[in-house]
Amino acid sequence: MFFALAANGTLTARPFGSPSAGSAAEFDYSAIYGKGSDHGVDLPAVPYAKLEKRLLRHVVTVEPGLPSGLIWTDMSRHNLYVSTTSGQAIRYGIGIGRQGVRWTGKGVVETIRTWPSWTPTREMRDRWPELEAYGEGVPGGLQNPLGARALYIFENGRDTLYRVHGTPEWWSIGRDMSSGCIRMLNQDVIDLSTRVATGAIIDAR
């Protein structure tokens, strides 16, 4: 889809063009999805060849004039985009919540946290009693469901309790299986966090 920013601040959608010229060589997947280290945490490699290519990081062409750092999603295709330079955006693969529990709407990124701790909400613990064991919280790290970064989404000044976050479960990208948040490969959410700032607009649809 092409996206344009309307006068009222909402995003309007039109068909995407093809990926920008030369973008196929933009990223070396063996490098960006290989083993690495982040803030003292050793990141395992992602077996990216097992994922559909549309779920891997890619440069795409979008409507010129979008502000840098604008985030939007295409839930039907399991993709998240962030605008970069004029006329271009980075596309990532995502996993999303099952129908009925996913967040859609327009919000802002209130906070970005590195290797955040995680505490399941009361609603989550009621829905999945096995999460009661984590009621006191889980410290940040590879086994934490929020992964390497979490972008905290607020709407009308209130915490939605939904996040854009990393995940160690690479196989969940491209699927509807989360408890409502938007999940990304750890390597991708780290990259996303370098391209946005607090206050960034996110439009999930």
Q: What is the pLDDT of residues 169-197, one digit of tens each?
A: 999 999 998 778 999 999 999 999 999 99
- Residues paired with residue 120 on neighbouring β-strands, in sequence order: none
The boundaries of the domain holding residue 94 are: 2-204
Under 8 Å between Cβ of 118 and 138: yes
Global pTM value: 0.85
Q: Which two tokens stand for residue 70?
A: 């604008």
Q: Which residue has the tokens 């890619």?
A: 58
Mean pLDDT of 92-109: 86
Q: Which two tokens stand for residue 91?
A: 């596309």
- On the question of pLDDT at 6 being above 80, the answer is no
Mean pLDDT of the chain: 85
- pLDDT by residue (tens digit) across 56-76? 999 999 988 899 999 999 999
Residues designated as active site: 165, 181
pLDDT of residue 134: 64
pLDDT of residue 106: 95
What is the tally of structural domains in the chain?
A: 1
**At 107, which helix (H) or strand (E)?**
strand 105-114
Dist CA 47 CA 81 (whole Å): 22
Q: Which CATH number does the domain housing residue 8 bear?
A: 2.40.440.10
